[in-house]
Amino acid sequence: MSDRPHPVPRLTGTPPISGRFKVAPEDFRVDEIAAFDPDGAGEHCHVRLRKRDLTTKRAVELLCRALGADPRQAGWAGMKDRHAVTTQWVSVFGVSPEDARGAEVEGLEVLEAHAHGRKRKPGQLRGNRFELVVRDVPEDALPALREALETLVARGAPNAFGAQRFGRDGDNVAKARAWLVEGGRPPRGRFEKRLYVSALQSDAFNRALAERLEEGSFDRPIDGDLFRKEDTGGLFVSDDLARATERCAAWEISPTGPMFGRKMRAPEGEAGAREARLREALGLDDAVLARFGKLGLGTRRPYRVRVADAELAPAEGGVRLAFALPSGAYATVVLGELFKGGLVDASRAGS
Residues with catalytic function: 81
CA pair distance 307, 331, nearest whole angstrom: 10
Pair type for strands 85-93 and 75-76 = antiparallel
Going from the C-alpha of 37 to that of each of 113, 122, 125, the distances in angstroms are: 11, 15, 11
CA pair distance 223, 241, nearest whole angstrom: 7
Going from the C-alpha of 238 to that of each of 203, 302, 314, the distances in angstroms are: 27, 16, 44
CA pair distance 314, 326, nearest whole angstrom: 25
Angle at CA 262, nearest 5°, toward 4 and 333?
40
Would you give the end-to-end CA distance of the chain in angstroms?
36
Determine contact, residues 235/265, Cβ cutoff 8 Å.
yes
> In Å, how far from its chain's centre is CA 156?
15
Can you say whether the dihedral through the CA atoms of 259, 264, 267, 268 is positive or negative? positive
Angle at CA 312, nearest 5°, toward 309 and 313?
135
